[in-house]
Amino acid sequence: MWTYTFRRLGLAILTLWLASTLVFMVVLFIPGDPVATILGMDANPDVAEKLRHDLGLDRPPLERYFSWLAGVATGDLGTSIRYGISVGGLILKSLTLTLPIVLLSLMLATVIAVPLGILAARRAGGALDFAASLFALLGLALPSFWVGLMFIYLFAVNLGWLPSNGFPQKGWADPLNALKYLALPVLTIGLARSALLTRMVRGSLLEVLSQDYVRTARGKGLSERVVVNKHALKNAALPVVTVLGLEFAQLLIAAVVVEQVFGLPGLGSLALTGIQARDYPLVQGVVLVLAMFIVALNLVVDLLYGYLDPRVSYG
């Protein structure tokens, strides 16, 4: 188990190193002079020279690469051109918005998907099962940002129940008010992501329910509730855990897009501001942090999977 954990950890670090190298290399391909692109052609030469130095463009690429890697390893992602402050600080601040959205959406998706998936599997082929399949198909096909737009039209424009845009100045100092601004985004993302999850729970449980030990449990005369809740669910949870990990990555991406629908100043809008300002240290930082989350989650899921299922070999 320990060898496996260390090997898996090593792979994750190697992956991160490769990803950060990719993120670094992109800048080498900027056509023309990046400083001229950022400041415009008729920029003050002194200002241009200072920016060139700040960005490290007056140093050879290999040296820049190593200082970038050293920065990534120590959590220093450089300085934003647009804001003039540390990229890490900007990202941390937007994470206080993006992470709650992601976590709340994941909770909502699970709360919807697990009971619905179980019900659909227990009555496989029935009307509820059909409805759940339809829900899953729709969830996969409907673009989440469009669903967000429709929610704005329904809940904010027509019914006037919830705010459609922005995040209060006071932020989390007034948590209830802050949550009101997150309600529609979380509903949008959570509903969309619960679709696939429902299908996974259903499929996984159906597979387990067809196994011999479940037949034995039924043969012993156990009630269907005990068979499902006590015997089948634990084993059916395994594939679902894997999917939850992958879901988290998808959720993160969905959150970046849906934030934009509701005008929330999270990671997504930070990256988009960066692109408009050609602030590539900022964009690189956001992309790298998101990639780190994805790698870390894959790692956690792999380790958790081995822990939950003793049959998994660590070969």
CA distances from 230 to 219, 223, 226 (A): 15, 10, 5
CA distances from 47 to 54, 64, 76 (A): 10, 21, 24
Q: Rounded to an integer, what distance in angstroms lies between the CA atom of residue 247 and that of residue 5?
A: 22
Do you know the residue count of the chain? 315
Among 275, 307, 312, 314, binds another protein (CB under 8 A): 275
Q: In this complex, which beta carbon is closest to another protein, that of residue 129 or of residue 279?
A: 279
Helix (H, G, I), strand (E, B) or coil at 167: coil
Among 73, 111, 140, 179, binds another protein (CB under 8 A): 140
Q: Rule CB under 8 A: is residue 39 a binding residue for another protein?
A: no
Q: Rounded to an integer, what distance in angstroms lies between the CA atom of residue 267 and that of residue 91?
A: 7
- Please tell me what DSSP assigns to residue 312: -
Q: Rule CB under 8 A: is residue 274 a binding residue for another protein?
A: yes
Q: Rounded to an integer, what distance in angstroms lies between the CA atom of residue 182 and that of residue 185?
A: 5
CB of 13 to another protein, least distance (A): 11
Q: In this complex, which beta carbon is closest to another protein, that of residue 151 or of residue 186?
A: 151
Beta pairing partners, 261: none
Q: In this complex, which beta carbon is closest to another protein, that of residue 16 or of residue 227?
A: 16
Choices 90-98, 115-123, 209-217, 281-289; region in contact with another protein by CB under 8 A: 281-289
Among 1, 47, 150, 312, binds another protein (CB under 8 A): 150
Q: In this complex, which beta carbon is closest to another protein, that of residue 65 or of residue 145?
A: 145
Choices 57-65, 111-119, 237-245, 291-299; region in contact with another protein by CB under 8 A: 291-299
Which residues are within 8 A (CB) of 264 and not within 5 positions of it... i.e. 6 or more apart?
Answer: 97, 101, 166, 167, 181, 182, 185
- Please tell me what DSSP assigns to residue 143: -
Task: Name the site residues for another protein (rule: CB under 8 A).
Answer: 11, 14-16, 18-19, 22-23, 26-27, 29-31, 137-138, 140-143, 145-147, 149-150, 152-153, 156-157, 164-165, 249, 253, 256-257, 260-261, 268, 271-272, 274-275, 278-280, 283-284, 286-287, 290-292, 294-295, 298
